[in-house]
Chains A and B, each alone.
Chain A
Amino acid sequence: MLTLKIWIVQALFIFFTTESVGELLDPCGYIKPESPIVQLGSNFTAVCVLKEKCMDYFHVNANYIFWKTNHVTIPKEQYTIINKTASSVTFTDISLLNIQLTCNIRTFGQIDQNVYGIRIISGLPPEKPTNLSCIVNEGKKMMCQWDPGRETYLETNFTLKSEWATEKFADCKTKRDTPTSCTVDYSPVYFVNIEVWVEAENALGKVTSDHINFDPVDKVKPSPPHNLSVSNSEELSSILKLTWINSSIQGFIGLKYNIQYRTRDASTWSQIPPEDTASTRYSFTVQDLKPFTEYVFRIRCMKEDGKGFWSDWSEEASGITYEDNIASF
């Protein structure tokens, strides 16, 4: 019963108060700016302007205004009375990221009333993105990534831009969960130089990375060779012959390889000298192996001139060298 009575009194107070000043939600004044975004470390001034109706009804003027941040009253030394209706408050060297600022008046000597409230968001403009690099996984679209620079504490959008000399491509806008990389929407065209850069923008500024210009064929990560198979030789017990199928990219670029091998129970790999596998091929005979021993092999490839990225390793394949004919006698 008591709770109901208290509720009725509060409701009547609100009704009569709002009836006196007009519409139900008509505030007593307003703050400018309304939704500021300010740079950390900078100064900021807000102005509260009282409405004439409110001033008349409550018998107040700008001298009756007091400011609060996050419910803590700000010292009067930070206020400036601009005129009869307006008071400002100044903050120097803002360091908080999110401030609730309210303009309030003391009415009838004892009742504090909220006039208006805003939220001050602070942060930093974006830094220039750096270390922009791109990769083209064979058969897939180009993906570029970069270092975004410092934390801005604000929503910052990164846009990857790209163009040929003859036309511009659509902007690649990063997704929220991957703000420092973007996969373009178009298929790569090898042998046409493309210029790529990143724009970073938030409410406090916009900045562009250095441009990079390259042929996508020099950024390829090929698919690994597949169908790796191993065959032995009855005549030579120290060799095994590897054969494999290169991916389709070998139709227009030369490839080089790393071939690694180990015995079945070994933990470390040995590698064929790279100079022996420095151009496109489909087989390789590994020599100087131990007779009647199982070896495991794997192979990877990249563009012959060393530009781009190594492919993943192929599936492993194994074979057993033939028995040594001399020893079997």
Chain B
Amino acid sequence: MSMVDEPLYPIAVLIDELKNDDIQLRLNSIRRLSIIARALGEERTRKELIPFLSENNDDDDEVLLAMAEELGVFIPYVGGVEHAHVLLPPLETLSSVEETCVREKAVDSLCRIGSQMRENDLVDHFIPLAKRLSAGEWFTARVSACGIFHIAYPSASDMVKTELRSIYSQLCQDDMPMVRRAAATNLGKFAATIESAHLKTDIMSMFEDLTQDDQDSVRLLAVEGCAALGKLLEPQDCVTHLLPVIVNFSQDKSWRVRYMVANQLYELCEAVGPEPTRTDLVPAYVRLLRDNEAEVRIAAAGKVTKFCRILNPELAIQHILPCVKELSSDSSQHVRSALASVIMGMAPVLGKDATIEHLLPIFLSLLKDEFPDVRLNIISKLDQVNQVIGIDLLSQSLLPAIVELAEDRHWRVRLAIIEYIPLLASQLGVGFFDDKLGALCMQWLQDKVHSIREAAANNLKRLAEEFGPEWAMQHIVPQVLEMINNPHYLYRMTILLAVSLLAPVMGSEITCSKLLPVVITASKDRVPNIKFNVAKMMQSLIPIVDQSVVEKMIRPCLVELSEDPDVDVRFFANQALQSIDNVMMSS
């Protein structure tokens, strides 16, 4: 056993703990691998540490994951880019373990290192690595291989390029569906590095194979590839090669494939250009909007705004709007909810007149939907419509919807609507708010559910910020302070919370004159919970108010509380007193 100098001791421990029995310690050492590397120096890192890591890779996944991540940024510690290739062997083994997240991280790191390596190093080390992984005995290695071809390919010689393309095409036809899935996922990335001459021949034939795979899971990843390939191909090639595939996919027997198309279609429109979009993709999209599987309609409905943005308004009104009308009364609440979450975005696309004529009735019917999520989704995007047609046309229907949500028996629904109140307030304006919503905001302070009361207090703060202290002084503060006399201590506590949130917004003067007296009164409460919350609150008021006020009003009150019979009250009072002293000292 060697002796280690005292200052090196922490590093020595760190190194030893690479092999500790406790996984947390091993993990800790791996996370600090760069420190170990710097202590060992570049040469010994290359010659000892990296081989050591390559050999000791039968560890827990957590440790391997950390190792894969650290190695990705390890180039500086092995002596720079010219030695980067020494990092490949440990990552090679990590990219064939069976845990997916470790493999993915190792592939990430390989790509990161590969993209920095010198060209001849790539040829000597990285390309052989890609080939070895593609020929791996287990599917895990072959899965990882698919993810590094786009790094290996560009620096290869023409002959090797041909070989790499043929290897990738093998991977696309692998026996294991997992490998074919990986090949499908990475096809777009790989294609981006390939010369356009081969793109149309080799890549498109791989793509076609994948689109005809008998595993649904492979086909639906091929759908994702469509958009990526579409960006690479010339528009006319897109039309001849991709368009038929997309149209086929949109009528695939498997709803999962159609679901993917519904999610991706708007991206493909850009690739094929306006005319084929009109003739082929719009009809395909309309079919998806009317699909008999609800999941597909959900995906299609969720993209309706993005799709319409690509089309000209006439097409959207002519073809898409009728479907949207149908979807707004779809039998599945989830479809309606998906539609409600995006439909407001169509207003700017269609313009004022079309919105009023076509969309407004849909908004109004969705605002009356029996399912609260649908109504909430409409309300959450109100600002988008406000810009186009103004709020007046909606406000009549809006109020009953808000009131109903505000009184929904599910507290999560109430919580959601409270979150949107500041948005509503800003859109509807002070006048409307004062008339209709002010009372609701006060009502929530006395909700039965704590989360609602908490959100209500927070809401008041945000309203005060929105409309300013003067307005708050008139419309919030008196009403809130009135409630401090509520017979139930939990409600009194909510008021204290509201006061403490309002104080910073209201400023020093109002705090001293209006809020602080109420708090001081509350310090005489009979319930200890209120008293120690007063102590906590006062601590938060210290920075807001003047020092003289602290001395005159807050300190005496805290001193009194610090002699309270209740231990918790004393604790928080003393804590607050201490922080007063700290503030004094520092100033």
Q: A and B, one complex?
A: no
Q: Give me the interface of B with A, judged by CB distance under 8 Å.
A: none
